[in-house]
């Protein structure tokens, strides 16, 4: 969590400027934590005045995964254009901005560095306050731009690089309930897709790995393959997908031998493996989320009226996973909310909104003269995962089935 580190006089000045100014507060958000170069300008109501996004997806599909040096180069080549496009579309001049918010943690070091360097030069040139943003905090708060949700609420953040459960108690106050121990859910789905050579499938050539799995799974039989649930006996909320991926890879190897399939060719049962893989990932996410809900209820962490689970991050775009999680929230009396798919993936809008939230409360606002460092690895909030494990909450069995 970021703390405001301005001197007392400057903090007083910032409160006067941001609290009493008759002008609307406008924030430019900049995102470069991984492989998306995003920028957006928002007003204090969450209205998107202008945005721009450059995706590196096609490049990384060709290379079979994100190469940090390539991602860095593409960010460097596109960031100036992307920011200028967002400003042009908003019809806002840099002088009219109240502040600039930029992702500084966590993420790929080389990618974070490009966004931070650009932003610090920008705020110094235009003498604007700077708001450093925690990427996962931004994902957690995005839905508040669209719905009037009060704290506290439970959050499941799942993406290519992250899988975590947390209780959001405030804009910068989180209790970490569980996190990935090896690889994230999105990374697992992407690797399975590459192992299945889904880029060579006629329906999946332009899709990311996770999108390809979801597309083919719609026509597959998830019961054709049985993959055991990872970490079945661990009574915590942590995630582990590496063992599951090993099982799936073993099944693929076996079927390839049976069918005489060579590298790059497609198995006849590719849709069934996609469906079984997607269901196994969804089930693991659901069971951990179920335990988190029961733990929070046992501690009185969730409000009695309209308790909510927010699901965000790139994997939250997967409709099947949303449906499985809906079974959990329906059974426990929670309201499930997910941002629209375009706001689940990395973008400048969520960073700008996080900046707005912090600006309103005067939290984490730095001077343009302050030095800021990026942090590739950064936890979200206070880690109470050991407390969750000690509670040893047993999750009742539910039939995790959908109509699709």
Would you say how long the chain is, in residues?
A: 404
Beta-carbon contacts of residue 8 (< 8 Å; ≥ 6 apart): none
pLDDT at 57: 84
Average pLDDT over residues 27-56: 96
Q: CA Rg, the chain, in Å?
A: 22
Helix, strand or coil, per DSSP, at residue 133: strand
Strand order in the sheet with 130-134: 48-55, 36-43, 26-31, 99-105, 130-134
Helix, strand or coil, per DSSP, at residue 175: strand
pLDDT at 263: 76
pLDDT at 145 exceeding the cut of 80 = yes
- C-beta separation of 202 from 256 below 8 A: no
DSSP letters, 212-237, are HHHHHHTTS-GGGS--PPTTTT--SS
pLDDT at 24: 86
pLDDT digit string, tens, across residues 171-225: 999 999 999 999 999 999 999 999 999 999 999 988 999 999 999 999 999 999 9
pLDDT digit string, tens, across residues 260-282: 998 789 999 999 999 999 999 99
Confidence of residue 30 (pLDDT cuts 50, 70, 90): very high
Residue recorded with tokens 């990311």:
208
pLDDT at 60: 82
* β-sheet bridge partners, residue 100: 28, 130
Q: Where are the domains of the chain?
A: 8-146+343-373, 153-338+383-391
- C-beta separation of 242 from 183 below 8 A: yes
pLDDT at 58 exceeding the cut of 90 = no
pLDDT at 232: 61
CA distances from 14 to 30, 39, 92, 217 (A): 21, 24, 21, 52
pLDDT at 14: 43
Residue recorded with tokens 């984490």:
364
Average pLDDT over residues 73-99: 98
pLDDT at 155 exceeding the cut of 50 = yes
- Angle of helix 185-195 versus helix 242-259 axis, rounded to 10: 10
CATH code for the structural domain at 153-338+383-391: 3.30.420.40
Q: Give the global pTM.
A: 0.90
Read off the tokens for 310. Answer: 């927010």
Average pLDDT over residues 304-318: 94
pLDDT digit string, tens, across residues 110-124: 999 999 999 999 999
Is it true that 8-146+343-373 and 153-338+383-391 share their CATH fold? yes
Q: How many helices (H) and strands (E) does the chain have?
A: 13, 11
Beta-carbon contacts of residue 283 (< 8 Å; ≥ 6 apart): 229, 324, 400
Q: For all residues of the chain together, what is the average pLDDT?
A: 91
Q: DSSP letter for 374, please.
A: -
pLDDT at 337 exceeding the cut of 70 = yes
Helix, strand or coil, per DSSP, at residue 75: helix
Distance CA 193, CA 274 (A): 8
Average pLDDT over residues 147-172: 95
- C-beta separation of 344 from 312 below 8 A: yes
Q: Does domain 8-146+343-373 have CATH number 3.30.420.40?
A: yes
DSSP H or E run through 208: none
Provide the strand spans (E) within 2-113: 26-31, 36-43, 48-55, 99-105
Read off the tokens for 314. Answer: 């790139």
pLDDT at 256: 94
pLDDT digit string, tens, across residues 354-398: 999 999 999 999 999 999 999 999 999 999 999 999 999 999 988
Residue with the larger pLDDT of the pair 262 and 246: 246
Residue recorded with tokens 């708060």:
141
pLDDT at 231: 63
Mean pLDDT lowest among 15-29, 83-97, 297-311, 331-345: 15-29
Q: Could you give the percent of the chain with pLDDT greater than 90?
A: 83
């Amino acid at each position: 969590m970021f703390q405001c580190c301005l001197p007392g006089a400057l903090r007083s000045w910032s409160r006067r400027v941001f609290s009493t100014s008759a002008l609307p507060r406008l924030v430019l958000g900049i995102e470069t934590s991984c492989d998306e170069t995003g920028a957006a300008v928002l007003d204090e109501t969450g209205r998107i005045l202008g945005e721009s996004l450059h995706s590196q997806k096609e490049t990384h599909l060709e290379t079979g995964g994100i190469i940090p040096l390539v991602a860095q180069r593409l960010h460097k080549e596109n960031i100036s254009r992307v920011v200028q496009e967002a400003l042009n579309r908003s019809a806002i001049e840099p002088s009219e901005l109240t502040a600039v918010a930029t992702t500084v943690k966590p993420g790929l070091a080389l990618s974070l560095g490009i966004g931070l360097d650009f932003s610090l030069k920008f705020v110094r040139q235009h003498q604007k306050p700077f708001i450093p943003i925690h990427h996962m905090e931004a994902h957690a708060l995005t839905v508040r731009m669209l719905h009037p949700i009060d704290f506290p609420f439970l959050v499941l953040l799942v993406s290519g690089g992250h899988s975590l459960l947390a209780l959001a108690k405030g804009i910068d106050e989180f209790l970490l309930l569980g996190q990935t121990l090896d690889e994230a859910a999105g990374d697992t789905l992407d690797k399975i897709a590459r192992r299945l050579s889904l880029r060579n499938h006629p329906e999946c050539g332009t899709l990311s790995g996770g999108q390809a799995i979801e597309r083919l799974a719609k026509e597959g039989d998830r019961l054709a393959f049985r993959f055991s649930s990872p970490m079945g006996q661990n009574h915590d909320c942590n995630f582990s997908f590496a063992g599951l991926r090993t099982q799936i890879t073993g099944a693929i190897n076996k079927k390839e031998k049976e069918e005489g399939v060579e590298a790059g060719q497609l198995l006849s049962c590719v849709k069934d493996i996609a469906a079984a893989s997607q269901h196994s990932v969804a089930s693991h996410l659901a069971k951990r989320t179920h335990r988190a809900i029961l733990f929070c209820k046992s501690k009185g962490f969730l409000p009695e009226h309209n308790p909510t689970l927010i699901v965000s991050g790139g994997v939250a775009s997967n409709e099947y996973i949303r449906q499985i999680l809906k079974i959990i929230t329906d059974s426990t009396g929670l309201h499930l909310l997910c941002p629209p798919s375009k706001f689940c993936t990395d973008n400048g809008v969520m960073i700008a909104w996080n900046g707005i939230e912090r600006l309103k409360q005067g939290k984490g606002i730095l001077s343009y003269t302050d030095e800021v460092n990026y942090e590739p690895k950064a936890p979200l909030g206070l880690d109470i995962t050991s407390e969750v494990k000690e509670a040893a909450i047993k999750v009742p069995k539910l039939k995790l089935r959908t109509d699709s």
